[in-house]
A and B are shown apart, each in its own frame.
Chain A
């Protein structure tokens, strides 16, 4: 089983739609959780951190359920510029420091 699992998509949605991505992780000792965005042939960029209380940043809402080891990302009022791959990322502590584990990503295509 992969440490971080995501539906690869693609999710094809019209502009203005609301779309939700889910992610599950296997390491119950994971400490921190993030959503990153990666455009084609580019490096990943931090979109937002994810907290149990849920957090919102404009059109983006992230939620963490530690009991179910489940993370979600909701994008409202999708824009063409939201088209990208969204990576679910989990951080855990090791003897050598904190490490990030990336999911394979969910591809989003927002269309006119």
Chain B
């Protein structure tokens, strides 16, 4: 099946710093990528949808100025958590899909962010 990687897998940072997470589709071109967040014992919550070459669409309640998403190529999307705070500590998972209306999303292994 298709492979999606995320880097880093784990990051610990101080409050106030910015953290960048990369999501790559390794063996296919992803026109659409999604960013999810999962807090302990909760469901995955969609944060934003990004289509290559256009601005990301953010879900209600997600601050676009805090969570910067860039989908500059068909194989790479980045999520930058700006001025991170302890409440941003979570499991961030990306997924990639070949087109906006195809069925299957391929998930990355996730990035565990801990903000001290």
Partner-B contacts on A (CB < 8 A): 4, 8, 32, 41-46, 49, 87, 91, 93, 96-105
Query: With A32-B103, A43-B93, A46-B104 in contact, is A100–B109 under 8 Å at CB?
Result: no
Please give, as numbers and ranges, the residues of chain A lying within 8 Å of B103 by CB-CB distance. 32, 49, 91, 98
Q: Which 8 A-B pairs have the closest CB atoms?
A: A97-B100, A43-B107, A102-B43, A102-B44, A104-B43, A96-B57, A43-B110, A43-B109
Shortest distance from the beta carbon of A15 to any chain B beta carbon, whole Å: 25
Chain B 61-115 interface residues, beta-carbon cutoff 8 Å to A: 91, 93, 100-105, 107-110, 112
Please give, as numbers and ranges, the residues of chain A lying within 8 Å of B93 by CB-CB distance. 43-44
- For A91, the closest partner residue in chain B by CB is B103
- For A45, the closest partner residue in chain B by CB is B107
Is the pair B43, A105 in contact by a Cβ cutoff of 8 Å? yes
Give the interface centre of B91, B101, B103, B108 by most chain A CB atoms within 10 Å.
Answer: B103
Shortest distance from the beta carbon of B50 to any chain A beta carbon, whole Å: 10
Q: Complex formed: what's the CA distance from A4 to B103 in Å?
A: 19
